[in-house]
Structure 1
Amino acid sequence: MLLISEQGGRGGLGMIHSIAILWAIWWQCNIKVFKHKQLAIDQTLYLVTELILQWNNGSATLFTCVVDGAWKQSTEVAGLAWVSAWMKLKCRCRNKVLSIWLSSPLLAEARALLEAIKWVVKMKICCLSIFTDCKILVDSFEQQSDPDWEVALVVQDVLAISKQFQFLSVTKQVSGGASA
């Protein structure tokens, strides 16, 4: 998981993030023990981001985005899509870019993420939680690089744009896809 946030001093967002993570883990353990239910990690991460925003006096609304890229090897044409939602407003948007030439399926996933983030920036949203079904892409963001130079360039573009957010997380989605 890639997590970027503004860091305050003592008692700043770094402290709030730590408390929110511990509280979400504790909450998930209680659900498992007392209700005999296993929650997916993306549900726990969603709780973390909601807690952070609540403790931040509700000054920001969490925006979530599920991104996906599809790639056809014979033509090297990709389709990029993302589904986004404001959790508090219960508003959903679907966006797609079709027929773009790309050299690999990983690059299609990375470009879907980049296009979604560009769209979110235009919407002037400051708190974003992104889910992707591509673990390799999440790993590339954690390492802030990739052996494939094209993917590495997209990773650097996303990292540069990410400085505009108060909160940004990029996480491997446990199930579903952009159509979910």
Structure 2
Amino acid sequence: MRGALPTGDNLSQRRIYTDAKCPFCGEEETTFHLLYKCSFAAEIWEKAPFKASLVPEQITSIRDLIERAKNLICLPPCDIGGGPLFPWILWSIWLARNHRIFKDKQSSPRETLSQAIALAREWNYAQTHPPTQNQKLSTPGTKPTSPTDSETTVCHTDSAWNANQKVAGFGWVFSNCREDFLREGSECLTNIRSPLLAEAIAIHQALLHAYEMGITNLSITSDSKQLIEAILSETPHKDLHGILHDILILSSTFQKIRFSFVSRNVNRQSDALAKRSLLNIVPRPVIAF
């Protein structure tokens, strides 16, 4: 409201960067546009799990947005208690904007909203449940319970990457301790600069789906030993940039979580899903004889 955010219009007024536009739609980037009017932000507000929706005609400024968003009530499945969601939506939109500009990392409105809900849940849980000596939550850097625990869901993840077109397919398969099939999924994205980044995005996508499924105890597996070591050590990697941070943030929303390396032979089902997804964009060449 005071012009503190370095959005395009504020940078132009300060004569720092006069050509800055909204990274999502290319229109003039004002704070109000970025956080509400842009089609990217509008989809997030529309899909947010509020009991009542915002009325666009009643919101003409960022002040109106904040004042009316303060009264929005979240539906129970969000599991964020009585705390607000709107500050985390604003923050997640800002993060998505910066990641797109500075890290060339694309996030969909759905992913951005999921991150906002995860952050709100984490914050509100911390306010009402201070850690005690008897509370032992598994984190990426500790030794969690065995993935064969009856309450643990196992998720195998994998990716397939096309070096020429910088396109990647992702696959993930959820099962329980008895190896009963629960759910599988796949996706394909462009502008993926390395196979290691593709493996990381596969895990990130799996975490988002696990969160939406309401899973609390999770064991994530990958056949990329380098990625698993990077996650467990929580150390930055030049090919991972912000995705490692996003993985660790999402990890904190689970009661128990484990990341482990598995052989490619164990990962065949998720590997097949990833390759099939990639073929939807990059089909195999037809060779005529």
Q: Same fold per TM (> 0.5)?
A: yes
Q: Which residue of 1 aligns with 2:240?
A: 151
1:19-70 residue CA offsets vs partner (Å, 9 max, x unmatched): x97xxxxxxxxxxxxxxxxxxxxxxx434xx1xx6xxxxxxx2111000011
Q: Indicate how the Cα distance of structure 1 residues 106 and 90 shifts in structure 2: closer, same or farther if over 3 A, else same.
A: same
Please report how far the alpha carbon of residue 171 of structure 1 lies from its aligned counterpart in structure 2 after TM superposition: 0.3
Between the aligned partners of 1:106 and 1:96, the Cα distance in structure 2 is 17
Q: Indicate how the Cα distance of structure 1 residues 75 and 169 shifts in structure 2: closer, same or farther if over 3 A, else same.
A: same
Structure 2 residues without counterparts, runs of 5 or longer? 1-130, 271-289
Please report how far the alpha carbon of residue 142 of structure 1 lies from its aligned counterpart in structure 2 after TM superposition: 1.7
- 1:13 lines up with 2:103 in the alignment: no
Q: Indicate how the Cα distance of structure 1 residues 87 and 78 shifts in structure 2: closer, same or farther if over 3 A, else same.
A: same
Out of 87, 92, 103, the residue aligned to residue 193 of structure 2 is: 103
Total equivalences in the alignment: 136
Verify the 8 A CA contact 1:145 1:152 in the aligned structure 2.
no
Please report how far the alpha carbon of residue 135 of structure 1 lies from its aligned counterpart in structure 2 after TM superposition: 0.6
Between the aligned partners of 1:167 and 1:86, the Cα distance in structure 2 is 15
Please report how far the alpha carbon of residue 91 of structure 1 lies from its aligned counterpart in structure 2 after TM superposition: 3.4
- 1:46 lines up with 2:147 in the alignment: yes
Higher gyration radius (CA): 2
Structure 1 residues without counterparts, runs of 5 or longer? 1-6, 22-44, 54-60
Verify the 8 A CA contact 1:67 1:178 in the aligned structure 2.
no
- Aligned structure 1 segments of 4 or more residues deviating by more than 6 angstroms: none
Percent identity at matched positions?
A: 23
Say which SS state the counterpart of residue 241 (structure 2) adopts: helix
Q: Which residue of 2 aligns with 1:168?
A: 257
Is 87-96 or 61-70 further displaced after alignment?
87-96
What's the Cα RMSD here? 2.7
1:77-127 residue CA offsets vs partner (Å, 9 max, x unmatched): 100111111336933311000243300000000000000000100111110
Using structure 2 for the length normalisation, give the TM-score: 0.42
Between the aligned partners of 1:138 and 1:9, the Cα distance in structure 2 is 28
